[in-house]
Chains A and B, each alone.
Chain A
Amino acid sequence: MKHASGLAITLFVAWLLWSGHTAILLVTLGAGSSLLVVWLLHHLGILDPQGQPLHLLLDIARYLPWLLREVVRSNLDVARRILSRDPPISPCVTRIKAMQKTPLGQVIFANSITLTPGTLSLRVRDGYVVVHALTREAGEALQDGEMNRRVLRLEGETP
């Protein structure tokens, strides 16, 4: 129920932002359509905490600045490599143990890996993330596990 109402509110706020209408009739229709979507999701049985991790919102806000800094840094690195003569790359495939216990945590980890240019998650399986890295250094930096630990902290004690 908590997730359903949270989702309904999120959808309605999105509706308000996009329509910009304030007439009573239209707002009612917007609210109605938000509820309809929630009901449809419930009917399909895909309304679960995973699809809408509101409880992680604060932790994600804390994790985001670090991730953005990483993204900028690796972007600059990859851009430099592309522009230098005879691109100095050493592609490699490596496997990293995801420390996170929940599927959601592992997805956030794998997505963070992919979002950072220079590393790319090929497959998440059995608690391992198989990573393709543009350079050996990028792969080794991931092995060090800074990102892994930060996502683990983000995940926290949530079930």
Chain B
Amino acid sequence: MTLLLHTLSWPLLLAGAAFCIIGGIGLFRLPDFYTRIHAAGITDTLGAALILIGLALQAEELLVVIKLALVLAFLFFSSPACTHALARAAFSHGLRPLLQDQCFDESFASDYVNWVNEETEEEPTSAS
């Protein structure tokens, strides 16, 4: 049983390691901040999850498994919050995403410019 779990854990650990590095590479291959966030998302979700699950399969005590699960759960709750906070702060500071010309949907296209202006004019110090 232990042997089986150990053999199962290695592919997970290696895949997790691979996804981490791919995310790291993505930080350099993608053109702007908003696209790089997606690369960081890879390492935060699948990379972290696979490594932690792989470790959990090698754990000898139940308590260790529970702690790993809690670390994973916390990562899954906090990483979108962090990412969203980052993206929103960047946007309201006037950093605009590079867009491939008119690729957002038509109903939003006309509103986009207005929306951008509204967002930028917002007082940065205002409590929100």
Instruction: Give A35 Cβ to nearest chain B Cβ, in Å.
Output: 21
A8 at the interface (CB under 8 A from B): no
Total chain B interface residues with beta-carbon distance under 8 A = 44
Q: A138 to B75, alpha carbons, bound, how many Å?
A: 23
Contact A91 B98, CB 8 Å, known A111-B84, A134-B38: yes
A95 at the interface (CB under 8 A from B): yes
Q: A111 to B42, alpha carbons, bound, how many Å?
A: 15
- Chain A residues near B103 (CB-CB < 8 A): 90-92, 136, 139
Decide if B97 touches A82 in the complex (CB within 8 Å).
no
- Chain A residues near B100 (CB-CB < 8 A): 90-92, 136
Q: A115 to B39, alpha carbons, bound, how many Å?
A: 12
Q: A88 to B127, alpha carbons, bound, how many Å?
A: 39
Contact A143 B22, CB 8 Å, known A87-B30, A122-B91, A123-B88: no
Decide if B105 touches A94 in the complex (CB within 8 Å).
yes
- Chain A residues near B111 (CB-CB < 8 A): 95
Q: A148 to B84, alpha carbons, bound, how many Å?
A: 18
A120 at the interface (CB under 8 A from B): yes
B66 to A, closest residue via Cβ = A17
- Chain B residues near A87 (CB-CB < 8 A): 29-30
Contact A89 B42, CB 8 Å, known A17-B67, A82-B25, A122-B87: no
Q: Mark A97-129, 1 if CB is under 8 A from B, else 0.
A: 000000000000011101111101111000000
Name 10 interchain pairs, CB-CB below 8 A, sorted by A: A17-B70, A78-B26, A79-B22, A83-B25, A95-B107, A111-B80, A117-B41, A118-B38, A130-B115, A139-B105
Other than the given A95-B107, A143-B105, 4 more pairs (CB < 8 A) read A17-B63, A92-B99, A93-B97, A117-B41
